[in-house]
Chains A and B, each alone.
Chain A
Amino acid sequence: MSFNLKINGETRRVDADGDTPLLWALRDELGLTGTKFGCGVASCGACTVYLDGLPTRSCVTPIDSIDGEEITTIDGLSGKASAAIRQAWTEMQVPQCGYCQSGQIMAASALLAETPKPTDEDIDGAMEGNVCRCATYHRIRAAIHRAAEIQEG
């Protein structure tokens, strides 16, 4: 079957079965490999994308269940919050191996867009679905605080 998906501002055609997880449509069909496969069972957050701006796990989202929502991946992430997050991430050298980081950045940018001055509790609440095997959690938390300062200007 063929599906038209709105991804990063463009309409992209995907020829795949409707039960194909969005993650595989992005990576294998469209070559958008910024979004990562971590666990495949909605437990780790590495595959986080936005559907209409809301963080969603692409590994458990069949493409046929997407009903015209705008999909944003790390490849197309833009805006003030995400720019601040990226700058803070670089400044503070947040990633270690980096595998989980596109999911972390998606979750962190969504938090900062909605909550410009997050507390530690806000950060832990927003980031708890994103697992990092290198345990960069402390740097992630510090970098989100730094990004809040950057965003404030």
Chain B
Amino acid sequence: MYDFELVKPSSVADAAAALGDEDAQALSGGQTLIPTMKQRLAMPSKLVSLAGIEEMQGVAVSAVGGIRIGAATTHATVAKEVAGSYPALAALADGIGDPAVRNRGTIGGSLANNDPSACYPCGTLASGATINTNKRAIAADDFFVGLFETALEEGEIITSVDFPTPSAANYQKFDQPASRFALVGVMVAKFDDGVRVAVTGASESGVFRWSEAEAALNGNFSADAVAGLSVSADGLISDMHGSADYRAHLVGVLTMRAVAAC
């Protein structure tokens, strides 16, 4: 194993202080970071575990609508806890990776990593969620900056995520069966003030909103409304698992499926 020091603070403030050290890196569920370190793609000398911070755990469903999920809450817990209040988000969490990943991996870890094929960035952006950190609240629209890149500053820690609950929503994931990430994933969420459509697994710049589909669905919320639309293959991921053209095609198909399932 790559040699590192692990510290386990019990408060966000202590974690933030520990992250002030050079080469320190936050560790949440470790389902991406530890394998990455084993492959020497990351070499932090110190890991600051966020798993033991009580205030970052758990799910709270507000009586007036809206859900707050602690950043260190595992996918398995989210899948169970929001099954009644936000079924589409529960289904998304329940489809991440495999059981072992869902038992350790966390929402905060997934968002901070911002893998271009991850599910949570898609669910967060489609929901118009707010990402709370130890310094500020960041709207999902401003949070995802690019490939593995977010608005988080050095040492800034996601503490929780606030989800408004849509009147209808669905996440369609086209599995990449080897990695268990999304080859392409689309989440459609319908709110009183409009429809939001987010796409993961497709763009080289990471998760994005498909504004043309949103406009069409705001006029007519049916699969037919987006049937004639397509995204450009320019800037889409092309790899051994699927070409950019194929991914562009999937975005349209999955959007229609998501709308039909709403």
Chain A residues whose CB sits within 8 angstroms of the CB of B101 once the complex forms = 42, 57, 129
* A95 CB within 8 Å of chain B: no
How big is the B interface, by class?
20 to 34
CA distance A136 to B67 in the complex (A): 42
Q: A111 contacts which chain B residues (CB < 8 A)?
A: 99
- Mark B34-54 against chain A: 1 for CB-CB distance below 8 A, else 0: 110011000000000101100
Q: Which residues of A contact B104 (CB under 8 A)?
A: 56-57, 61
Contact assessment for A60 and B38 in the assembled complex, using a CB-CB cutoff below 8 Å: yes
Report how many residues on chain A are interfacial, defined by Cβ distance under 8 Å.
31
Interface: B240 (CB within 8 A): no
> A60-B38, A64-B6, A129-B99 in contact; A42/B31 too (CB < 8 A)?
yes
Query: Which residue of A is nearest B94, CB measured?
Result: A125
Chain A residues in 8 Å Cβ range of B4: 19
The closest CB in chain A to the CB of B32 belongs to A42
Q: How many A-B pairs fall under 8 Å by CB?
A: 79
* A125→B91 CA distance, assembly (Å): 12
CA of A54 to CA of B6, assembled, Å = 23
What is the distance, in angstroms, from A94's C-beta to the closest C-beta of chain B?
Answer: 19
Separation of A50 and B168 alpha carbons in the complex (Å): 36
A61 touches B51 (CB 8 A): no
Instruction: Tell whether B63 is near chain A: CB-to-CB under 8 Å.
Output: no
The minimal Cβ–Cβ distance linking A119 to chain B, given in whole angstroms, is 15
Cα distance A24–B130 in the bound complex, in angstroms: 40
Q: Could you pull out 18 A-B pairs where Cβ atoms are within 8 angstroms?
A: A17-B3, A19-B2, A42-B34, A42-B101, A48-B100, A54-B76, A54-B99, A55-B99, A60-B35, A61-B34, A62-B1, A65-B27, A107-B100, A110-B99, A128-B98, A129-B97, A129-B101, A129-B180
